[in-house]
Chains A and B, each alone.
Chain A
Amino acid sequence: MQVDLSLIVPEMAMAVLGLTVLILGLIVPKESRHGLGWFTALALLGVMGLVLAGWNNTGSLYGDLYVVDQFSQFFKITFLAAAFLVVLGSMRFVDKHLGGQSEYYSTLLFATLGMMVMASANDFMTMYLGLELMTIAFIILVCFRRTESKSLESGMKYVLLAGMSSAVLLYGLSLVYGITGTVVINEVGQALALRGPLPILMLGVVMLVAGLGFKISAVPFHMWSPDIYEGAPTPVTAFLAVGSKAASFAILIRIFVVGMFGISLNWELLLAILAAVTIIVGNLVAIPQTNIKRMLAYSSIAQAGYILVGLVTASQEGVKGVLFYAFLYVFATVGAFTVASYFYNVTGSDEIRDYAGLAQRSPLMAAVMVVAMLSMAGIPPLAGFVGKFYLFMTIVEDYLWLAFIGLVMSMVSVYYYLRVALVMYRDEPLDGTPIAVSAPVTVTLLVAMAVTLFLGIYPGPVSEVVNTAAHSFFMH
């Protein structure tokens, strides 16, 4: 068996990096541990460079167990970008509220590695282990503020519910394995194309949908996410909302679009309904929220619904839409959460009403918040609009009702986004002192805003890349 290890250089680099950071934590004196953040961020950029350098170096390892194609490369870049932004945006937060820098950064790196594995995994085991690496890492990150009972409470909810959902997911995987006799997704697909939709297989599908639905927080498997998003340290929330969700979509796509393609008629409508319910519930419940993180949590539930739309038709266009949306979603979400986390740093509050007058205290933060939110709402000329355009293009022929629900609800979502804008722009600040934004956070915010705008105004280049990625996925 020829194994071309050059394909997994980025993953290896990540593993080494994670260990390095862990060890550095032991060596570096406590006072200069905040430098670990810079180190991590730069290292992440380096890894991203490795992925980019290997963009065309595609292939599979161990007989299709591990596939490196542009699809997975794209996801990896997405994760790395998210991790980079989160690290950059959270350094101050980590120093001030969390402590344990080396543990924090290395866990974050391992979570990223887990996501990368998920993106490339082509069999249930690798997938599952990637998923669990990511989940365990996130569980730790979520309760990283171990003196804060909210953080711990969310950690406990997460660990128990995640364990339960993993069990369900595994049950589903075991059933699919039992029916097809294989755990490699290509082979599953071939087997299923022959055997058709057996009832027991459909039970497996149900469990898979539930297990993965949990990860992407699709309604009705979403209940955990607002609580965890609220309780977790804000940078972690950002990464959780972005990375975990995107990575889960990566395996969702692989399992359903490749593995279950043969029986797609049986689950298309199910996914459509799930997407619709998710969009509706997420947006509706976001309306009465008063805590910004909780509001963003519900909004990210709705966002998952939108991404799910791209899966409904199991087509290349749909995958392309998912990839594009997942990418832009990273920047909008990280932007919004970074503002929230930095704001918390300064004021110690996550309540929306405390954002009063932010536009005057820090125009940049307010602008990024608005841009990020409006992008999520799909208002042109921001990236979210183009993303939604791609997504809904795929379903408008067969699932017109879903397009209606999606787009109308996205306009409803503007209601609660604008309430934040209202508070930030209209109200006079109680405490008028300007907020000085630190350099790394400024970089994060500017990158988030710039990419969100750029993708909205000139999505051409990225859409072509995404097209290649989706194409590679289907060539496979």
Chain B
Amino acid sequence: MSGFPVLTTILLAPVAAAVIMTFIPREEGKLIKCVAAVGTFVSMALSLYVYFSYDTALGGLQFAEKIPWIKDLGVSWFLAVDGISLPMLLLTNLIGFSAVFASWNVDNRPREFFILLCLLITGVMGTFVAHDLFIFLLFYEVVVIPIYILVIIWGSSKRVSKEYAGMKLTIYLLIGSAFLLVGIIAFFVKSAGILGGPDMSFTALAEAGKQLSAFDQTWLFALMLFGFGSLVSMWPFHSWSPDGYAGAPTAVSMIHAGVLKKIGGYGLVKIALYFLPLGAKFWAPYMAVLGVAGVTYAAFAALAQKDLKYIVGYSSVSHMGYVMLAIGSFNVIGINGAVANMFAHGVMAALFFSTIGFIYEKTHTRWIPDLGGLARQTPRLAVAFMLAALASLGLPGLISFIPEFTIFIAAFKVYGGLAVIGIAGIILTALYALRAGANTLFGPPREDYDHLKDIRGPEMVPLVVLGTALVAGGILPSLLFDMVNSGAVPLMTHVENVLKIGGVM
């Protein structure tokens, strides 16, 4: 299959599905859903193929495709995957495919919904396979608008209206990205000077980054940190996240919490850290502090919530705190942990949101005091919920434990006491995850919900796909870590080399 542009195919499959959908009459809801499912399935199958045929021993960029694109900006259509981007790509596809099925019951303007969803998935995938900064940026922001429209039409208003939530999410992230963009443009201009010509490929930019002065690296990294940090909902730039998820329809919450947020973490590792090691070194302790603050703060805030989506919303802020802590610990174990934890959290959060979506769909409430005893009436839903909750609290045997453990190792080694505060978050996490689970699923069943139908048929797909990933990743962490490590080691080797040189200019 060498020479076949498999990554482009992965990207285009959902787009193709979207194009086909535009020609389907809007009444054909079932057909539209099937087309969306097929499109995302093709992507998922191909990305699984790529994942398992990637040579981890060899490492580096594989499946590369490069076509010159914009000459005067040095842009090329450069897609490639390495050990860091591949898990993210796979994650996107797992969640994207599941999201289609989690939205199986969308009957309000399904055509528009699934077209936007497919575009959204493509956008997210694009950021992970792009190996060119410009192409990355193209995809980076392209996702925001579909999300906005998805939220305002198919979202739900609770504590805040969906319009508010959607707007806040969009503007917040865009303003974050504005700072990022300034950083990236400034960096690009400097790099063009260093390289003697514009080149947007990651590899070239990393080479250029080597020669930037420590001062430049520091402020450029700060900009990127703010941009990517607000996407990854780094404390205190997180406040879009709970409201945003609460307002969004299930599929969007899944994709947003599951993968979109990860673009922030991915960008921090693959762009900010990779290009600007000295800057990263300077900011690492601050990242760690913010990470720990996020973990604790958001965990406490989650504890005070009664709306299921808010719990998961704050919980995802909290979990992303670990990612920040991991990146802040600035060593190869930390990077491994950060990437793996993003994958783990993605699967878990997506499953969580899909479950909550089903609960909401069936009971028309997400307010915990109004729920209870669902385990009796909808056992399969309960299993999904518990799986997600347990993964959230880092239960060993499920996917998130080992990444968290890895992060703890990395952070504890570097930061000691500070890390302990962060690690203590696992207690709080257990507290709110179990409270949510127990109060929703257990206790005396309510008569109003006796008629509820358990999830079945297509609704089972998210549980099966994501649940399998949760368990498989938990039992065989090497599936994930071999991959991640093959990407993290070269990255950190590069970083350490740069630190040794210490910035030439």
Contact = CB atoms under 8 A, between A and B. Distances in A.
Given A414-B170, A421-B149, A403 B186 contact: yes
Interface in B158-188: 163, 166-167, 170-171, 174-175, 177-179, 181-182, 185-186, 188
A426 B157 CA distance: 13
Contact of B137 (A380, A393, A404, A419): A380
A160 interface: no
B140 interface: yes
Contacts of A474: none
A301 B208 CA distance: 37
A414 B186 contact: no
A457 B75 CA distance: 11
A140 to B, nearest CB: 39
A400 B188 contact: no
B140 A380 contact: yes
Contacts of B153: 425-426
B189 A463 contact: no
Given A380-B140, A396-B189, A422-B152, A407 B145 contact: no
A460 B145 contact: no
Contact of A389 (B71, B152, B163, B185): B185
B171 A414 contact: yes
A407 B190 CA distance: 19
Most chain B Cβ neighbours within 10 Å, of A380, A422, A464:
A380
Interface string A385-419: 11001001100110010011001101110110011
Nearest to B69: A460
Given A374-B145, A458-B69, A422 B163 contact: yes
Given A389-B73, A407-B178, A415-B167, A379 B189 contact: no
A393 to B, nearest CB: 6
A404 B182 contact: yes
A396 B185 contact: yes
A381 interface: yes
A415 B173 CA distance: 12
A36 B25 CA distance: 38
B148 interface: yes
Nearest to B68: A460
Most chain B Cβ neighbours within 10 Å, of A379, A415, A457:
A379
Interface in B417-473: none
A162 B152 CA distance: 43
A467 interface: yes
Interface string A21-61: 00000000000000000000000000000000000000000
A397 B144 contact: no
Interface in B83-142: 112, 134, 137-142
A412 B170 CA distance: 10
A410 B179 CA distance: 11
B73 A380 contact: no
Given A380-B142, A393-B185, A411 B178 contact: yes
Contacts of B182: 392, 396, 400, 403-404, 407
Contact of B175 (A411, A457, A460, A467): A411
Contact of A421 (B140, B148, B178): B148
Nearest to B154: A426
A396 B189 CA distance: 8
A459 interface: yes
A404 B171 contact: no
Interface string A73-88: 0000000000000000
Given A380-B138, A407-B181, A463 B72 contact: yes
B31 interface: no
Most chain A Cβ neighbours within 10 Å, of B72, B137, B153:
B72
Given A400-B186, A407-B181, A457 B138 contact: yes
A464 B75 CA distance: 13
SS class, residues of chain A in contact with chain B = helix
Nearest to A396: B186
Given A379-B142, A380-B142, A460-B70, A415 B181 contact: no
Contact of B141 (A359, A379, A396, A457): A379
Interface size classification for chain A: 35 or more
Interface residues of B, number: 38
Given A421-B149, A467-B72, A408 B186 contact: no
A436 to B, nearest CB: 17
Nearest to B77: A458
Contacts of A389: 73, 134, 185
Contacts of A381: 138-139, 142
Most chain A Cβ neighbours within 10 Å, of B71, B141, B152, B181:
B181
Nearest to B140: A380
Contacts of B163: 422, 426
Contact of B73 (A370, A422, A463): A463
Most chain A Cβ neighbours within 10 Å, of B138, B171, B185:
B185
A400 B170 CA distance: 24
Interface in B20-78: 68-73, 75
Contacts of B171: 411-412, 414-415
B185 A379 contact: no
Contacts of B73: 389, 463
Contact of A385 (B70, B141, B166): B141
Interface string A363-393: 0000000100010000111000110010011
Contacts of B69: 458, 460
B302 to A, nearest CB: 29
Contacts of B188: 393
Contact of A408 (B68, B170, B179): B179
B72 A408 contact: no
Nearest to A422: B152
A370 B181 CA distance: 22
A459 B138 contact: no
Given A379-B142, A414-B170, A418-B148, A392 B185 contact: yes
Contacts of A404: 178-179, 182
Nearest to A466: B72
A426 B189 contact: no
Interface in B247-272: none
Nearest to A370: B145
Contacts of A414: 170-171, 174
Contacts of B141: 379-380, 385
B178 A463 contact: no
Interface of B: 68-73, 75, 112, 134, 137-142, 144-145, 148-149, 152-153, 163, 166-167, 170-171, 174-175, 177-179, 181-182, 185-186, 188-190
In the A-B complex, list the 4 residue pairs whose CB atoms are closest, starting with the nearest: A411-B174, A407-B178, A380-B138, A396-B186
9 contacts: A396-B186, A397-B189, A400-B186, A403-B186, A414-B170, A425-B153, A426-B152, A458-B70, A460-B69
Given A396-B182, A403-B186, A411-B171, 12 more contacts: A374-B145, A396-B185, A400-B182, A412-B175, A414-B174, A418-B167, A421-B149, A422-B152, A458-B69, A458-B70, A463-B70, A467-B72
